[in-house]
Amino acid sequence: MTAPHPSLAGRLFSGDNARTAGAMVLDVLVIALAYAAALMLRFDAEVPHQNLEFVLRVFPLLALVYIAANVVFGVYRTVWTYGSLGDILNLFLPVLVSTALLFGVNFWVKERDLPLSVILIAGELIFPGMAFVKMRSRLLTRLPRAAVASQRLLIIGAGHTGQALARELQNSPGLNYQPIGYLDDDPRKQNRRMHGLRVFGPVTELELQIGEHSVDAVAIAIPRASGQVIRSIVGICQSNAVPVRIVPGVERWISSGHTNDALREVTLDDLLGREPVQIDYAACSKSVKDRVVLVTGAAGSIGSELSRQVATFEPLELHLLDNNESGLFDLAAELRGVSSQTTIKLWPANVVDARKMEDIFNQVRPQLVYHAAAYKHVPMLESNPDEAFRANVLGTLNVAAAARKFQTGTFVLISTDKAVRPTSIMGATKRIAELLVLALSRHSERTRFVAVRFGNVMGSRGSAPLTFLKQIERGGPVTVTHPDMMRYFISIPEAVSLVIQAGTFGGRGNIYMLDMGQEINMLELAERMIRLRGLRPGDDIEVIFTGTRPGEKLREELVADFEKVEPTEHPKVMRLTASAEVAEAEILRLIAEVETVLRQDPEELRRRIHLVARKYSNNGDDVSTGVPEADPAGEPAST
Type and span of the H or E element at 364: helix 354-364
Q: Evaluate whether 411 touches 386 at the Cβ level (below 8 Å).
A: no
User: Per residue in 582-607, pLDDT tens?
Assistant: 889 999 999 999 999 988 889 999 99
The mean of the pLDDT values for the chain is 82
For 421, 599, 608, the CA distances from 627, given in Å and listed in that order, are 12, 19, 8
Write the CB contacts of 328 (distance below 8 Å, at least 6 apart in sequence).
298, 299, 320, 322, 346, 347, 348
User: Per residue in 62-98, pLDDT tens?
Assistant: 889 988 888 888 888 776 666 666 777 788 888 898 8
Q: What is the largest CA-CA distance in the chain?
A: 120
Q: What CA–CA distance (Å, rounded) separates 202 from 240?
A: 18
Give the model's pLDDT for residue 467.
86
The amino acid at residue 427 is G
Write the CB contacts of 84 (distance below 8 Å, at least 6 apart in sequence).
none
Beta bridge partner(s), residue 224? none
Q: What CA–CA distance (Å, rounded) separates 174 from 262?
A: 13
The amino acid at residue 634 is G
User: Per residue in 543-564, pLDDT tens?
Assistant: 999 888 777 788 888 788 788 8
275 φψ region: left (φ > 0), alpha (ψ -120 to 50), beta (else): beta
| 475 CB-contact burial (10 Å; exposed 0-12 / middle 13-18 / buried 19+) | exposed
Please give the CATH topology (third level) of the domain spanning 146-266. Answer: Rossmann fold (3.40.50)
The amino acid at residue 243 is P
Give the model's pLDDT for residue 559.
83
How many other β-carbons are positioned within 10 Å of the β-carbon of residue 637? 19
Q: Is 271 helix (H, G, I), strand (E, B) or coil?
A: helix
Confidence of residue 355 (pLDDT cuts 50, 70, 90): very high
Alpha-carbon 44 to chain mean position: 64
**For residue 381, is pLDDT > 80?**
yes
Question: In 3D, which of 603, 638, 85 has the Cα closest to residue 383?
Answer: 603
**For residue 139, is pLDDT > 70?**
no
Q: What CA–CA distance (Å, rounded) separates 465 from 530?
A: 11
Give the model's pLDDT for residue 353.
96
Domains 146-266 and 281-458+488-517+551-625 share a fold: yes
Question: In 3D, which of 598, 569, 450, 429 has the Cα closest to residue 512?
Answer: 450
Give the model's pLDDT for residue 633.
31
Confidence of residue 630 (pLDDT cuts 50, 70, 90): very low
Reduce the secondary structure of 387-424 to three states and give it as a string: HHHHHHHHHHHHHHHHHHHCCCCEEEEEEEHHHCCCCC
Beta bridge partner(s), residue 352? none
| 622 CB-contact burial (10 Å; exposed 0-12 / middle 13-18 / buried 19+) | exposed
**For residue 281, is pLDDT > 80?**
yes
Give the model's pLDDT for residue 2.
46
Find the range with the poorest average confidence among 408-412, 457-461, 611-615.
457-461
User: Per residue in 521-541, pLDDT tens?
Assistant: 888 888 888 877 777 888 888
> Which residue ranges make up each domain of the chain?
8-140, 146-266, 281-458+488-517+551-625
For 211, 331, 436, the CA distances from 305, given in Å and listed in that order, are 45, 10, 25
Give the model's pLDDT for residue 620.
44
Please give the CATH topology (third level) of the domain spanning 281-458+488-517+551-625. Answer: Rossmann fold (3.40.50)
User: Edge-to-edge strands of the sheet including 410-416?
Assistant: 343-348, 317-322, 292-296, 368-371, 410-416, 448-454, 510-514, 573-578, 563-567
Give the model's pLDDT for residue 615.
82
